[in-house]
Amino acid sequence: MFTERDINTGRRVGVIEVITGSMFSGKTEELIRRLKRAGYARQKVEIFKPAIDVRYSESAVVSHDDNTIRSTPVENSSNILLLSADVDVVGIDEAQFFDKHLVDVVVQLANQGVRVIVAGLDMDFKGNPFGPMPGLMAVADFVTKVHAVCMRCGTNAQFSHRLSEKEQVVLLGEKDIYEPLCRRCYIQANARQ
């Protein structure tokens, strides 16, 4: 933990930034933008994603707009600590798929002076808080909530509505399985099911 003495002696203090919202809201796009800016500033950057997310690439973080940045897939959050020695910035995509210990990992990195930028869904398809995201938002220095466009009425969307009948919480998919909806359209869609 940092003390006032650490700050006064110039010891680098980290920060936690969380980017969250529904599917198709631009979370990964914003994560990539921030990480590339850090790279332009000649900061040492490491990016991680859950190993289960192979939708676009096994070893890259890819946005829905096909923006790409290289990453390291990891099985669990403790691997992030092992692989992020001597870095300035750590990026983590699809944080909702990580275990609950991700919050501790992120706090430890920030306490070591690392800027940590995390992107993930705030809610699952049922509208419930998703994985470690509530804890990450609680410990974050900054939270950016981005919105998609509702596919039914065109207003801001904050829900990821599942088009599939499958009930498991983790179901990787794209526009064939999910659509972003506003609150009104989300309630209407779920009332019909």
For the chain, domain boundaries = 4-146
Tell me the whole-structure pTM to 2 decimals: 0.85
**Superfamily of structural domain 4-146:** P-loop containing nucleotide triphosphate hydrolases (3.40.50.300)
| Burial class of residue 135, CB neighbours in 10 A (0-12, 13-18, 19+) | middle
Confidence of residue 5 (pLDDT cuts 50, 70, 90): very low
What percent of the chain is predicted at pLDDT more than 90? 66
Residue whose token pair is 């306490």? 111
**164, amino acid identity:** S
- Of the chain, the percentage scoring pLDDT greater than 70 comes to 79
The residue to which tokens 């890259």 are assigned: 60
Residue 2's pLDDT band (boundaries 50, 70, 90)? very low
Whether residue 69 has pLDDT greater than 70: no
Whole-number pLDDT of residue 9: 53
Residue 67 pLDDT class (50, 70, 90 cuts) = low
Q: Look at residue 3 in the predicted model and tell me its pLDDT.
A: 47
Q: What is the mean pLDDT of residues 142-152?
A: 97
Model pLDDT, residue 1: 45
Of the candidates 53, 57, 76, which has an alpha carbon nearest to the alpha carbon of residue 68?
Answer: 57
Pair 92, 101: CB distance under 8 Å: no
Q: Which residues contact 9 (CB under 8 A, 6 or more apart)?
A: none
pLDDT, the chain, mean:
86
Active site amino acids: 94
Cα–Cα nearest to 54, from 46, 43, 62: 62
